[in-house]
Structure 1
Amino acid sequence: MRTTLMGGVLEAENGKRKTENGKGSKERLSPFTVHCSPFTVHCSPFTVRRNRAFTLVELLIVLLLMGIVYGIAFNTVLGKTSKEKGEEGVSLATIDRVFKESPAYKSKRIDLFCSDRMKCYLSVEGNVTTTFDLMQPVVAYRLNPDETLQIVDYPHIRLGREEFSPAYILSCRKNGLFVPAILRSVDTWYYLHPFLGMKTFSDSVSMVSFIRRSDYLPDKAGYAQ
C-alpha cells in the first residue's frame, strides 16, 4: 500500500520483509515511515504548518503592554531624577544654583515657593516647572530700617492643585539679580545677595554687618516695607 502525503511517500507494509544488498539481513519497516522530498519544508504527517499575520487583537495587546512598560519606566525615571536632585546637595546654602540652572535664568522671572512641609516649587512666571524637597526647617525675616529683624508672614497662595502658606519665597528677576532675602535655619543665618547669591553666617549680628557694608539693605531693594 503506497499513499502520497505532503510531498512525501508513506509506505506501509504489513508482514513484508526486505532484503538489502542481496544479503540475508532483513529489516521490518515501521508502518508509519515517512520519506520527504528534497523540497519539503515540513513533512510531519500529523502537523500542518502555515504562515499567518498577527490579528488586530494581538497587535492591540502588544501596544497595551508597551504602554504599561513605558509608563512604569517613565515614572521610575522621574522619581529617581527628583530624588537624585535632593541627594545631590541642594541645600539652603546652594539654593541659588537652582535658579541659575533653570533655562529661564536671565530671561524670565523665577520664584521659589517653599512650604512649611519642606516642599519647594520652582515657578517661571507663574508656571511650576520643578518640585523638590528641601529638608531644612526655615524661617524668613525682613530687615527693618532700624536694623531689627522681623519674621515675614506670607499670605496663603495657590500653585496648581496645591494651596499653602509659604515658609519663605525666593525670587530672581529677569536680569538675573536676586531679590534680597534673609532666612534662618536652626542656628545658621542666610542672606540672598542680589549679585553674590546665598551667603551664610553663624549669627545675625555678623549678617547685618555684612548687609550694611555691602550697601544692599533689603529696604533699599524694596524687600522691607
Structure 2
Amino acid sequence: MEILNGFIINDEVRSILFSMCMGLIAGCGIAAGYVLANKGKKFSKNFAVTVLLLPVIMAMIIPFIATDLRKTLSLAGVFALVRFRSIPGDSKDILYTFFAAAAGLIIGLGSYFVGFVMVLVVSLAYVLIIRLWKVEDKQVLKITIPEDMNYKDVFEDLFEKYLKKWAVKNVKTSNMGTLFTISYWVQPKNEMDAKAFIDDLRTRNGNLNIILENPDDQLAPVL
C-alpha cells in the first residue's frame, strides 16, 4: 500500500504537474527568444533545446527541495559539477542558461506571474540587444609561413586591400620550429571576396595552411 501511495494524484502532485506545464510554456518562450535573437546567424540547436527544457526540470524539482537545506545544497553541487564538466562557451549563452534556470526556479516556487514577467522582459531585452546592437564583424585569420619569412610587412598590402582593421593576436611555432603560425584579429571590408583574399595570401606563404574563422566557431555550447 505504501508503494501505491506514491502513485496517488493528490493536491501536491497536481501542483507540481501544473508547475511543470507552466515551466514548459516559459521554456518555449525562452527558446523562442534565443532563436529569434539569432535568426539568420549560426546558433546551437542543442542549446535551444536546453533552455526550453531547463525551466521544466527546475519547476519539477524545486517543490521537493525548497524546505530541505541538505537537498538544496545537493542540487547546488550537481549544478557546480555540470558547470565544471562543461567546456567554456559564449558568455551570453552562459547568462541565458542562468536565466532559464532562474525562471524555472521562480515558477517552481509558485510565483507564476513574476516568472512569466521575467521571461517576457528578459527575452525581449535579449532579442533587442542582440538584433540591434551592432558589433564589429571581427574574425580570426591564421596564416602558416616558413621560419625564414619575415611576416611583419609581407601581407601589409593585401590587408589594406581586403581588411578594415587587423592586429596580431599571437604567434606560435609548429613542425619542430620550421613553421610559424600567425593569428590575427581582422575586420573584413564590406562584401569582401574571401576566396580571392585567401588565394592572394597563398601566393605569399608558399601555399601553406590559411584559416579564416569566426571567434564563435571556436566555442562549444555551454551544456
TM-score by length of 1: 0.23
The structure where strand makes up a greater share of residues is 1
The structure where helix makes up a greater share of residues is 2
Report 1 or 2 for greater relative contact order, CA contacts < 8 Å, sequence distance ≥ 6. 2
Larger CA Rg, structure 1 vs 2: 1
